[in-house]
């Protein structure tokens, strides 16, 4: 089941797989509800995973992705890093919630512009379990 709710100031909340993330209101949500895309090709995909251990999960994800361009955060609250090269830089983000992880892959076109960086940050900061207050 997918829900798309209005969110303040030109954003809306995408809820999918027991996870939620805010996206710009102009982005179109796919039929399955697990992804949204802007007119410029910027996009986000959202998934939930069951994990046995947060530290083990983080180690596995880092191993799978291999070459990480920039590690933004590797903490008890979030794993966030960049992969790829201009113009296709992607942000991979995991946020744990008990035995589950909400995961987002975000690609912003014009990733180095100040507006794109603000948009990425707002999307990432909004990622969490759908039932988290």
**pLDDT tens digits, residue range 40-71?**
899 999 999 999 999 999 999 999 998 899 99
Give the pLDDT confidence of 11-37 residue by residue, as tens digits: 999 999 899 999 999 999 988 879 999
Strands of 19-24's sheet, edge to edge? 2-7, 11-16, 19-24, 128-129
- CATH class of the domain at 2-129: alpha beta
pTM: 0.88
In the sheet with 79-83, reading across from the earlier edge strand, the strands are 28-29, 35-37, 43-50, 100-107, 90-97, 79-83, 70-74
In sequence order, the 6+-apart residues with CB closer than 8 A to the CB of 110 are 40, 87, 116
Share of the chain above pLDDT 90, in %: 65
């Amino acid at each position: 089941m997918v829900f798309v709710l209005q969110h303040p100031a030109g954003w809306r909340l995408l809820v999918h797989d027991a996870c939620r993330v805010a996206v710009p209101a102009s982005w179109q949500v796919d039929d399955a509800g697990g992804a949204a895309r802007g007119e410029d090709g910027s996009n986000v995909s959202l998934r939930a995973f069951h994990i046995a251990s947060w530290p083990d999960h983080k180690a596995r994800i880092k191993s799978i992705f291999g070459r990480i361009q920039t590690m933004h955060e590797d903490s008890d609250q979030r794993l966030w890093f960049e992969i790829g090269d201009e113009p296709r830089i992607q942000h991979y983000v995991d946020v744990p919630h008990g035995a589950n992880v909400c995961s987002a892959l975000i690609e912003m076109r014009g990733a180095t512009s100040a507006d794109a960086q603000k948009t990425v940050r707002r999307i990432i900061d909004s990622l969490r379990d759908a039932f988290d207050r």
